[in-house]
Chains A and B, each alone.
Chain A
């Protein structure tokens, strides 16, 4: 399967560029000390305190903490919105699984499709982990939303003049300068969320799964999904049942970037075509009788 995909990718690029070989894309520069968050869904109880903390930290809304005790919201599957960067969904117990609560937010991919798609670089992947957004650069094309593998960014459609793309920031104002953890991690009463070095978190995740094989399914969601993500989840319920998309191990940005770089690296493709056409033009001109 991989070989076929590989073949197709190369074939696609090669045919599009006609002459240029594929140029693999390496993705953004990443720091080896970069951080992330590990969410242990077996520990999450759906208290929604992360939603409250997130709303406060990002100044999204100002409901009191009791507002989030409401469990009626679990009746409907929810997605992050412009005023809720993170939401918790509850999945009732089924024949094959126990009741599971799962938090949704931007996964902060290692090789984010949104960053690759962004036309002006308003979305950036910080080497330390967060995918940051600069509203002043943004032109509001919403291609990031089309591109996002996890369908996360939300958009202020109601705002006529200065709409923004809204998504979890990984509290980059605190985490990037080392002054704190993300608000959701800080408040989580059962510490279902662990903030730390991504490499370290992966070890912890594997350790927990290995020690409690009955409690967890053997899968760290986000370790490899879409080329890896800063947020990673471990769970006792299959991630498909928790509505996490089934994503390949490669970032979708790799394909488009390979095509893009294949064609436009140093403008060689277009320049070649220009030369070819110019030569044709000149060669054919000697025959004015045509027509």
Chain B
């Protein structure tokens, strides 16, 4: 009798413990620790999934199921999608171009919503069957998956559903050598961006921030994705849409770490970057074609040159250097000076020193010659 009671008691305890463990599992589930919004039913189709029979939904569409980014060059250049050609011809999908653009809009998992833990991306048809069956009713078939993926963005910015936008006509052949920079035979037009923007901010001491887009792209060598992160296609492509402003705090400040607000803010628009005006060092006439990074090779910073003049001009010395080209003709009594007399350590980027010879004189209040430019 006592034995039986004990057994029942044991059974109850075990069951209760089982419950506890189960509950615990629900909260400490590895996926849940990543995304607490996740509910069991988002991944499991049955009410009580177990480790043996997890009844997982196939290819769950959640960003946290994407592991590891790839570079745009890793994938194929062009993918010919022709498994389902029926009413329309196949699609030549410029994968490289799209992946390059995707870097501005969230990366690979923009389209590839699922990858293995090791980062390997399965092909669409591995999950999306050509003909969906009863089991996969909640998942689009291959046709649906393609169309949903492509049209989502295309419709968003082009406002166009025309099938011919992507599909070749039924009777046409895919040309053999496709230009990978093409979008289906139509070369991508040059991006037309406004060269400068004047933003009016609420900062009282300098409400105006002038942003020279051209300078950032052509002079400073910025990549689109440096600023256009997590952007949408329609931001650039949709002309009907009101341009949404980029979050400047994160975009600008990721490069400009100046603590001086007035570096960007001003009471009036700032002119585009001119080396002479901004730094006092004129690129005219000999350095106009010199690449920025010849002198400024510090990644992300142009503040001070990484190279010195003598790195290139190794044979320059007093007597062999015509000081006139700097825009300053030396006076008679300075002509014979050695370079280091004014430019200590032959550091020509620094302000010249007069104290070597003169007591009360400073540059540039008084000049060692005549400035003619």
Contact = CB atoms under 8 A, between A and B. Distances in A.
A31 to B, nearest CB: 16
A27 interface: no
B163 to A, nearest CB: 7
Contact of B144 (A47, A69, A189, A197): A189
Contacts of A65: 87
Contacts of A194: 137-138
Contact of A190 (B138, B147, B162): B147
Nearest to B132: A191
B148 A190 contact: yes
Contacts of B201: none
A46 B162 CA distance: 10
B356 to A, nearest CB: 71
Interface in A136-193: 187-191
A200 interface: yes
A196 B140 CA distance: 13
A69 B137 contact: no
Nearest to A65: B87
A190 B137 contact: no
Given A45-B151, A45-B161, A46-B161, A200 B137 contact: yes
Contacts of B161: 45-47
A69 B163 contact: yes
Contacts of B216: none
A191 B141 contact: yes
B148 A69 contact: no
A196 B144 contact: no
A48 to B, nearest CB: 9
A189 B147 CA distance: 6
A65 B164 CA distance: 12
Interface residues of B, number: 19
A206 to B, nearest CB: 10
Interface in A185-236: 187-191, 194, 196-197, 200, 204, 207, 210-211
Contacts of A187: 87
Interface in B21-53: 39, 41-42
B64 interface: no
Nearest to B87: A65
A43 interface: yes
Interface in A38-81: 43, 45-47, 65, 69
A194 B148 CA distance: 14
Contacts of B176: none
Interface in B155-177: 155, 161-163
Highest count of chain A CB atoms <10 Å: which of B132, B134, B138: B138
B162 to A, nearest CB: 6
Nearest to A196: B137
B41 A191 contact: no
A207 B138 contact: yes
A190 B42 contact: no
Contacts of A196: 134, 137
B143 interface: yes
Contacts of A207: 41, 138
B93 to A, nearest CB: 15
B144 A190 contact: yes
Contacts of B132: 191
A45 B155 contact: yes
Contact of A204 (B137, B143, B155): B137
Contacts of A197: 134
A198 B158 CA distance: 36
A277 B214 CA distance: 99
A67 B108 CA distance: 36
A211 B41 CA distance: 10
B144 A211 contact: no
B144 A191 contact: yes
Nearest to B88: A65
B68 to A, nearest CB: 24
9 smallest CB-CB distances across A and B, nearest first, come from A191-B144, A189-B147, A190-B147, A191-B140, A196-B137, A45-B161, A204-B138, A47-B161, A190-B148
16 contacts: A45-B151, A45-B155, A45-B161, A65-B87, A189-B143, A189-B151, A189-B163, A190-B144, A190-B151, A191-B132, A191-B141, A191-B143, A194-B137, A194-B138, A196-B134, A210-B39
Given A191-B144, A194-B137, 12 more contacts: A43-B148, A45-B151, A47-B161, A189-B143, A189-B151, A190-B148, A190-B151, A191-B143, A191-B148, A200-B137, A207-B138, A211-B42
